[in-house]
Chain A
Amino acid sequence: MILLTLMAIVVIGIIRFKNLFNVIILGSIYSFLMASILLVLDAVDVALTEASVGAGISTVLMLSALYLTKRNENPITHNQIWPLLIALITGALLVFGTYGMPEFGIINTPMHNHVGGEYLARSISDTGIENVVTSVLASYRGFDTLGEVTVIFTAAIGIIAILKKTKTKVK
């Protein structure tokens, strides 16, 4: 609860600040708080990823991107009524959607009765890997992980294509 409150405060800070450097640092703090929440929820693998990717490397990449642009946000010139209206409607729809969800922590939801239990039961005898997250990620769902690696590959190639200084002579 404390962590969620802190996250809300950080989000308000992100909205209020005009200096992009502050915003990036607050984003990093937000990621750390998120990692702490995931740790509380016993999702250690995700927490480690959030801490290293969200709070660590993406902050560095954002800062180096900031290095290429201006430090401050542009003042807002257009009408703010429509964006506010759209945000309110979307938010209301999302809150409405949560009423259709099963109660928190209930056991017989579709999520728990699908393949999850099967993986938990069979992981050790099938693969001998004690961390079920790894066995699902690398073995049962290896194809998905291949897709993820391809996504990272594509992202890196795209950034190289955009930012790489070519050595062609300017006429």
Chain B
Amino acid sequence: MRLDVILRIATKIFLPFIFMFAIYVQLHGDFGPGGGFQAGVILAAGVVLYTITFGERKAKEYFPEKLFEIMIPVGVLIFLLTGLYSLIHGYNFLDYTAISHHGTHGQHLGVLIIEMGVLITVSGSMVTIFYNFINRD
């Protein structure tokens, strides 16, 4: 088609690895460097790469703008509701012992849930900001 064949093929090859790395950084945050913020940004970077290579229209088919817009408040809500959950069960705000009493199990689960919330908000925000910039031409 055009001269950017290499670019498109390379993007296609790299994209699964980028998303996989984002998930790895997200879930491995307990043991190594990483967490919701970094994983969210890496995830957003994958979407941005796809949009740059394949164009806006095709990208929005697979990564709809609406979805990422909804993700922004959903992440914050997940975080807040986790805090409120422990508050309702008679613990301090964001005290994850409320989720499970099995030793440190509750802490693990709580951290996993709120990191998920962080990931959702961060990736949603980054992609939405990017989409809004490229929409303005």
Contacts and interface: CB of A to CB of B under 8 A. Distances in A.
Interface string B84-111: 0000000001101000000111011011
Interface residues on A, range: 35 or more
A24 B119 CA distance: 26
Contacts of B126: 57, 61
A67 B29 contact: no
Interface residues on B, range: 35 or more
A129 B30 contact: yes
B72 A157 contact: yes
* Chain A binding surface SS class: helix
Interface in A48-78: 48-49, 52-53, 56-57, 60-61, 64-65, 67-68
A129 B30 CA distance: 5
Contacts of B37: 49, 53, 148
A47 B38 contact: no
A163 B134 CA distance: 10
Given A57-B126, A128-B107, A165 B45 contact: no
Contacts, number: 143
A61 B107 contact: no
Contact of B41 (A53, A131, A138): A53
Which residue, of A49, A53, A148, has the highest number of chain B Cβ atoms within 10 A?
A: A53
A139 interface: yes
Nearest to A137: B35
18 contacts: A45-B33, A49-B37, A53-B38, A61-B133, A67-B133, A128-B105, A134-B35, A138-B35, A142-B94, A143-B94, A145-B79, A146-B83, A149-B75, A149-B117, A149-B118, A153-B121, A155-B125, A156-B72
Interface of B: 25, 29-35, 37-38, 41-42, 44-45, 48, 69, 72-73, 75-76, 79-80, 83, 93-94, 96, 103-105, 107-108, 110-111, 114-115, 117-118, 121-122, 124-126, 128-130, 132-137
